[in-house]
Structure 1
Amino acid sequence: MLNILWLGFFLIAAASALIQWAVLGNHQIFSQIVASLFEMATLSVQIMIVLFGTLTLWLGFLRIAEHAGLVNTLARWLGPLFARLMPGVPRGHPAIGLITLNFAANGLGLDNAATPIGLRAMRELQTLNPDPLTATNAQILFLVLNASSLTLIPVSIFMYRLQQGAPDPTLVFLPILLATSASTLTGFLSVAFMQRIPLRDPVVLMWMLGITLFLGSIMAGALSLSAAALSQVSALTGNLVLFGIIIIFVGFGAWRKIDVYETFVSGAREGFDIAKDLLPYLVAMLCAVGVLRASGALDIALDGIRWIVHAFSGDDRFVDALPTALVKPFSGSAARALLIETMQHHGVDSFPALVAATVQGSTEPTFYVLAVYYGAIGVQRARHTVGCALLADLAGVIASIAVCYWFFG
């Protein structure tokens, strides 16, 4: 699947570039594409440098948590649920605790913490894989839920809006919460359908009800706070939880009489090995995305969508936010750049900018996650991962547009 997608990006870009050159007279198109290739290769290295430090840091702390028994404790607590969702993963397996930590980090908007934890979880799941080149059901479910990224506190989106002068940076808090819930639910149900997960099982139903009540309480609490208070609570919660996790890991490790320094260094070394293996996959995927963008294929797609909306006499204000939505599955950095450009061009509180911000917070970049997570463990056959993850992306985009018309229309 990844081979087909990667080749497809280049073929679509080639067709679009030929149209730009032969029909529209854009004689600079091929130089733009070549320049984009080098830019994306450079961007890959820049991302890798940041990721290298993050991986080293968090895999060191995770090694302390593992040796202290915290990961195994989480695995035991969640054993009954994961026995239904991931029957191929034995009860008490360390992957379960790592998956839980990854979801918690994503929920708090702690992307830098979520990625190394998720990579560690994928490596643990790979130890159970009878065919190392083919993704297992458990790996697919984990990756789709990771890509759909249920975000409870989108601190990064608040930061972007604040940088662009938004008087109320948290204005999109509830729309993002609703949109990301829709994308995560869609991703989970699509994987459950493909893998025949028993959703009527009492344990699964209990957890789904509990998560629903938890999200509902967060939304109710958010509605009771002022915009300024909500922004402060969100930022404080994210940073407090992040530092609190570090203190718990180190403190519990010391209490269990573990040499926390040497254990940290031992885990940090693993970050180097993972980072070294990731770079070729990042270069491959980001360069393909760069070629697709530079060829004008995305602009052609937007014009087509706008024409269809006009044909049905619909409101086309959301179309100006679609560049972020269309690029988001491929590249988080490109989507971030397009979000900021939309804010600058249309105004930070304009309807397109609000939709783009909601889309940005609703999911993770699917193909980036696919390349990084599967690339780190050498999986080449993704099976139904892409279809389920893209369905979750589509649900997130549709929900973002609908919710923004509801809140700001």
Structure 2
Amino acid sequence: MVLNYIWIAFFVVAFLIALAKLVFWGDTAVFPAMVESTFSSAKTAFEISLGLTGVLALWLGIMRIGERGGVVSVLARWLSPLFVRLFPDIPKGHPATGAIFMNIAANMLGLDNAATPMGLKAMEELQKLNPHKDTASNPMIMFLVLNTSGLTIIPISIMVYRAQLGAAQPTDVFVPLLLATFFSTLAGIICVSIYQRINLLNRTLLLTLGGATLAVALLIAGLGSLSRVQIDALSTSVANILLFLIIMVFILAGVRRRINVYDAFIDGAKEGFQTAVRIIPYL
């Protein structure tokens, strides 16, 4: 209901301000500019959705192969000890767990295009579990915080953009980004856990967070001995190898299960297209 009032206010406030500019300052260009901006924004929303269509089709197709091949259920079982504490309202083995993991993994590798469709898929699955469809559930809030804080171990996309724009050292942001996203994720988990009354002193959570802290420290120490060129080459190679390895694991799992991998991919890709269409009104 709040969004309803906010959306209406956008137009009412804009109209009143434009009317005041026209009446008191004689700005005759304000209304044509507003109308032009409205159409331009609508066009931009469609272009954003169109740009996501291919990526959504690809990754939701791969995800569907993983679901039918059993990879998603295996991931859900592996992550169950941790996720059952961070997301106590998600049933064990639910598809949302696999989508959340894939989104977090893609974010950690700095692969934004891969993370977006997985995030949309995760939210779609979480909405199915949500008893109050017009209100974000606790798992949605926790996932949104994890997604927004975006722990990034290998910021490949940002380094590529910096290189394309002529940065002298594209890898300069590696350690700052790692530290910033790690501590923002840690802070987010703590804040949401306190709000949702999740026991942070649980042994599993303590071991996970402590292990993650140690891993980040070791990674920074190890990369500190490499040159910037080596860091750039290593991070680019590792991120893309891991990404393609995930695709291969999903496909081979489908072959092992003797499913029709191509049909599974097409079914998921169709869902990706439908998802891209569904998000247009919200943009």
TM-score normalised by structure 1 residue count:
0.63
CA displacement 1:126-152 (0-9 Å, x = unmatched): 222222222211111111211221122
Q: How big is the alpha-carbon RMSD for the aligned residues of Structure 1 and Structure 2?
A: 2.4
2:110–2:158 contact (8 Å) kept in structure 1: no
State the alpha-carbon separation in 2 of the partners of residues 165 and 229 from structure 1: 18
Corresponding residue number in structure 2 for 1:90: 91
Corresponding residue number in structure 1 for 2:207: 206
Corresponding residue number in structure 2 for 1:75: 76
Deviates more, 1:157-166 or 1:73-82: 157-166
Percent identity (aligned): 49
Corresponding residue number in structure 1 for 2:280: 279
Corresponding residue number in structure 1 for 2:193: 192
Q: Is it true that 1:229 corresponds to 2:227 in the alignment?
A: no
Call closer, same or farther: CA 1:218–1:19 in 2, change over 3 Å: farther
Deviates more, 1:128-137 or 1:61-70: 128-137
What letter is aligned with 1:129?
Answer: N
Corresponding residue number in structure 2 for 1:114: 115
2:142–2:192 contact (8 Å) kept in structure 1: yes
Deviates more, 1:69-78 or 1:154-163: 154-163
Task: Report how far residue 232 of structure 1 moved.
Answer: 0.9
State the alpha-carbon separation in 2 of the partners of residues 113 and 20 from structure 1: 45
Corresponding residue number in structure 2 for 1:42: 43
Task: Report how far residue 25 of structure 1 moved.
Answer: 8.4
Alignment of 1:119-268 (within 5 A): 119-268=120-269
What letter is aligned with 1:270?
Answer: E
CA displacement 1:93-144 (0-9 Å, x = unmatched): 2211221111000111111111111222222222222222222111111112
State the alpha-carbon separation in 2 of the partners of residues 169 and 125 from structure 1: 37
What letter is aligned with 1:261?
Answer: Y
State the alpha-carbon separation in 1 of the partners of residues 165 and 93 from structure 2: 46
CA displacement 1:204-227 (0-9 Å, x = unmatched): 111111111122222222222111
Task: Report how far residue 30 of structure 1 moved.
Answer: 4.7
State the alpha-carbon separation in 1 of the partners of residues 41 and 117 from structure 2: 22
TM-score normalised by structure 2 residue count:
0.90
State the alpha-carbon separation in 2 of the partners of residues 206 and 51 from structure 1: 37
Task: Report how far residue 16 of structure 1 moved.
Answer: 7.1
State the alpha-carbon separation in 2 of the partners of residues 175 and 129 from structure 1: 36
CA displacement 1:356-387 (0-9 Å, x = unmatched): xxxxxxxxxxxxxxxxxxxxxxxxxxxxxxxx
Call closer, same or farther: CA 1:122–1:19 in 2, change over 3 Å: same
State the alpha-carbon separation in 2 of the partners of residues 125 and 203 from structure 1: 23
Aligned length: 282
2:251–2:261 contact (8 Å) kept in structure 1: yes
Deviates more, 1:119-128 or 1:222-231: 119-128
Call closer, same or farther: CA 1:224–1:123 in 2, change over 3 Å: same
State the alpha-carbon separation in 1 of the partners of residues 214 and 22 from structure 2: 55
State the alpha-carbon separation in 2 of the partners of residues 170 and 208 from structure 1: 26
State the alpha-carbon separation in 1 of the partners of residues 75 and 187 from structure 2: 26
Alignment of 1:235-384 (within 5 A): 235-282=236-283
Q: Is it true that 1:54 corresponds to 2:55 in the alignment?
A: yes
